[in-house]
Each structure stands twice: as C-alpha cells, then as structure tokens.
Amino acid sequence: MKRSPEIIPEHVEICPYCDTIMKVPELGEGDRFTCDVCGSSITHLAHKPVIKPFVYSLVSIFLFVCVEIMPFMKISMGGNMIEMNIREAATSIINDEYRFLGIFIYCCMQLFPLVCLLIVGFIYGFFLCHKYPPFLRPLARLFFKLKEWSMIEVFLVATLVSMVKLISMVDMSLQGGFFCFCLFIFFYVVVISSVDQWFVWNRLVRLDRFMNFSYLAGQRAYRENLIRCETCEAINSKRSDRCLCCGHRIEQRKKHSQQKCLAFLIAAMVMYIPANTMPIMITEYMGNASESTILDGVIYMWETGSYPVAVIIFVASVFVPVVKIAILLSLWMCIQFNRFRSTKYKTRLYHMTEFIGKWSMVDVFVVAILTALIHMGSLMSIYPGTASLSFCAVVILTMLSANSFDSRYLWENTDSGSLDTGEQK
Ligand SMILES: [Zn+2]
Ligand SMILES: [Zn+2]
C-alpha cells in the first residue's frame, strides 16, 4: 500500500525569537520554513516524519544497549590490561569526591539521551496507530526540555582527544563499543533533528483548531495582544494566563529574563577564573602527583606535536566560554541601553551561543574518560582536579544564561515587517 505523504497545513505561528506573527504556508516532506524577519528556523517537516523517528529511535535504543554492554576501549600498561565501557566513563567520578560533577556527566551523556529516545519511540509509536492520548503531552514537554542538555556528541570528540593524549603513554585499542557508539550518535542526531515541535503538538492538541482568527502577518504579537505558548506553540490571547491547548502557563516574555541572564553571566565569569587557574587533572605516577591546568594541557599537546588536539582543547575550553559570555553580555547591554541596530545579526549571534555552549564540556569529559581508564594505584592513576567542577559550572551557568535571555526584547522597538493583513479561512 502506498503511503500518502505527510504535510504541515498552512497555519499561523509566532516567531519565538522576534515575536513576529507569520503565515506558514503548507509544507511538504523535506520542507523547512524560516522566519523572514529574524532568519530563525521555525518549522521543519522531515522526510517520512512519523515512521523515521520511530524506527530510528528503536535502532538507537538497541545500539545504546550494545554500547552499554560492549567494551569501549582497552589499554595495556606495565603488564596490566584494562577494559573500560562507556558506563564506567560516565560514572567513574560519581564514586569520587566530585559527586555532583559525576552525576551531571552521567545525566548528559547517558540518562537524558536515553530518556529522549524512549519518549520519541513511545510518542511516535502512538502516532503510527493514530492514537493521541493526553498522557503523551507531559512526555513531549519533557522531551523538548531535555534534548538541549544531552551532550552525547561532545563525548565523541572527548574520546578522540583522550586517545591522542594516551597514545604516547600506553598501548590502546578501540573496541566494539566505540564503533557502536559512532553509529548510535548518527541515529540519535537523525532522530532529534526529525522531531518538529509544531508537528508533534499539532497531533497531540490539534493546534489547527485555533486557526480560525484574523491576524496581521508581519506585526509583533505583543502589539496584537497575542502570546505564543512556549510548550506547544499555540497562539493565545493575552487575557488568559494558561494555554488554551496544553494548559501550561503562558507569559508574554520570559519572567525576569534580564535579571536572570545577568546573574548567571556574572556567576559564570567568577567561575571561569578557577576553571582556568586551578588544576583540572591530577596525574599520579610512581607515587608522584602532578597537577595540570587546561592551559598546561594545551601547551603540552602543542609541544608534542598534536596540533589539532591542542587547537580543539584551546577553542572548546578557553575560547568558547569567553565568546559566549561576551556575546550574551553585549546582547544584554543592547537591551539595557536601547541599542536596536542590526537586530537580525544579533539574533544570529544569540543562536550561535545556543549552539556552541555545550562544546566546552570536552575537557571535562576527557578527564572523566582518563579517570575511568587509568586507575592503577600508585603505579599510575588520574583524578579530576578542582577546575573540572568550576568548568562544569561555567558550562551550566552560561547555558542557563542563554536560556533565560529573551531575544524578543531586541525586536520590540524595531519596525514591523511587511504588513500583510488577511483573514484566515
Ligand atoms: Zn523571527
Ligand atoms: Zn500550549
């Protein structure tokens, strides 16, 4: 039987980044719609948008189990053979004094990705049977919250960096778990990128029921007394404080956005100092302990000729947090001091901070992998240093700061785009 192609029907949306009301045309499979005003991606319908996330999520869960049970890496040193699987890398620090850091790493690279995949498999399984029970709604909400905290792809880069670090010290080989892990990441990224928020919520709460109102495409929603629900993307009137579709709380703007953004930024700046000056890793070799900071690691890699790794660690650990803090601070000041020129460019910068933030975790993951691998008592052991905790705090704080920043303030005092007054049928 031939499958009829899925579509996203013509509908009205409010851009979450610039607050512009817009008419989204009918989208076919593979189509993407971007906001004309700020250039942000709004809705994307993947090819085979129901069956693909379902099948791929099942494949990913299967690969996840394979990665869990198969050895990931093997090293031999001084007659000792050590095998590590991925769970040990994630949990090695939990037993240590850095319990919080261990739990955070475990959540970002094991728990959150798995929960996201289970939710997608579950929800899309119901979609395939054309069933949309209300208990799927909290799961969908949880999925869209958790997916940005999953850092599984960063762990892959961390694995490659640790290999380069180890190769001069020990004999090492990659095991089956590593290859399953690479495949897993491929399927995981496809699953996450083929789940569209509007598409999911339209099935769960029938957003298109509410298409029946007049609108002013190109106008800012707050001037028309309309609010976009952050959870399900439904358009609500300003009069209610709960979304008509999903029942979640709605607000015109993120609450205390400016204050929270600045507070998290200041905290991140404070934590950035110990993150770079304190030791991130302690190596114990033949009873002698030596401490190294992030910069020591970069210099060591550069001097030993591993230029790409030195550049990766420098960019991810030293450069990215500074750039992210600088961009967020400058955006914060633009709003505070009413500078509203080249807003489209600033919105693009904001998207960049959302994307780059988690890559700073590379060095912390490297320390976790080395701690799990090298634990041969006084012969040679590696432990995390104080900076790993400060570093993790910098990443979390800058992510929280970017999350609490509301880019719609940037657009509030700019002129609306083209006015296309129309009546939706
Ligand atoms: Zn926009
Ligand atoms: Zn809603």
CATH number for 254-411 (one of 1.20.140, 1.10.3470, 3.40.50, 1.10.10): it is 1.20.140
Q: Point out which residues pair with 74 in neighbouring strands.
A: 83, 173
CA of 27 to the centre of ligand 1 (A): 18
pLDDT digits (tens, 9 = 90+) for 357-367: 888 888 889 98
Residue 224 burial class via C-beta count within 10 angstroms: exposed 0-12, middle 13-18, buried 19 and up: middle
Ligand nearest, relative to CA of residue 18: 1
CA of 141 to the centre of ligand 2 (A): 10
Q: How many CB atoms lie within 10 A of CB 182?
A: 13
CA of 254 to the centre of ligand 2 (A): 15
Q: What's the pLDDT score for residue 115?
A: 97
pLDDT digits (tens, 9 = 90+) for 192-236: 999 999 999 988 887 666 555 566 778 888 888 888 998 888 888
CA of 327 to the centre of ligand 1 (A): 19
CA of 226 to the centre of ligand 2 (A): 13
Per domain, the residue ranges of the chain are 254-411
Ion ligand 2, residues whose Cβ is below 5 A away: 229, 231-232, 234, 243, 245-246
Q: What's the pLDDT score for residue 209?
A: 63
Which residues does 401 contact at the CB level (< 8 Å), separation at least 6? 260, 261, 264, 265, 268, 328
Q: What are phi and psi of 415, to 5 degrees?
A: -70, 150
CA of 16 to the centre of ligand 1 (A): 7
Spatial distance between the Cα atoms of 337 and 356, rounded to a whole number of angstroms:
26
Ligand nearest, relative to CA of residue 348: 1
Ligand nearest, relative to CA of residue 42: 1
Which residues does 64 contact at the CB level (< 8 Å), separation at least 6? 113, 114, 117, 184
Q: What is the pTM of this model?
A: 0.90
Q: Point out which residues pair with 23 in neighbouring strands.
A: 12
Give residue 422's pLDDT band: very low, low, confident or very high (50, 70, 90). Answer: very low
pLDDT digits (tens, 9 = 90+) for 112-131: 999 999 999 999 999 999 99
**What do you get for the CA distance between the two ends of the chain, in Å?**
33
pLDDT digits (tens, 9 = 90+) for 270-329: 999 999 999 998 888 888 888 999 999 899 889 988 898 899 889 988 999 999 999 999
CA triplet 127, 114, 137: central angle to 5 degrees? Answer: 40
Tally DSSP H helices, then E strands, for the chain.
Answer: 16, 15
Long-range Cβ contacts of 123-126 (<8 Å, 24+ apart): 123/200, 124/50, 124/53, 124/54, 124/57, 125/54
CA of 246 to the centre of ligand 2 (A): 4
Q: What is the CA radius of gyration of the chain?
A: 24
Q: Among 169, 112, 98, 150, which residue's Cα sits nearest to residue 368?
A: 98
Reduced to 3 states (helix: H, G, I; strand: E, B; else coil), residue 85 is coil
- pLDDT tops 50 at residue 369: yes
CA of 42 to the centre of ligand 1 (A): 8
Q: What's the pLDDT score for residue 423?
A: 35
CA of 367 to the centre of ligand 2 (A): 41
CA of 58 to the centre of ligand 2 (A): 28
pLDDT digits (tens, 9 = 90+) for 57-103: 999 999 999 999 999 888 887 777 888 888 888 787 787 678 888 89
CA of 233 to the centre of ligand 2 (A): 6
CA of 408 to the centre of ligand 1 (A): 9
Q: How many CB atoms lie within 10 A of CB 411?
A: 23
CA of 234 to the centre of ligand 2 (A): 5
CA of 309 to the centre of ligand 1 (A): 37
CA of 206 to the centre of ligand 2 (A): 11
Give the side-chain half-sphere CA count within 13 A for 244. 16
CA of 22 to the centre of ligand 1 (A): 9
Ligand nearest, relative to CA of residue 228: 2
Sign of the C-alpha dihedral, residues 277, 281, 282, 285? negative
Ligand nearest, relative to CA of residue 202: 2
In this structure, are residues 120 and 53 in contact, taking their beta carbons and an 8 Å threshold? Answer: yes
CA of 242 to the centre of ligand 2 (A): 8
Q: Please state, rounded to an integer, the average pLDDT across all residues of the chain.
A: 87
Ligand nearest, relative to CA of residue 210: 2
pLDDT digits (tens, 9 = 90+) for 180-201: 999 999 999 999 999 999 999 9
Ligand nearest, relative to CA of residue 14: 1
Tell me the two tokens of residue 406: 């509301």
Ligand nearest, relative to CA of residue 22: 1
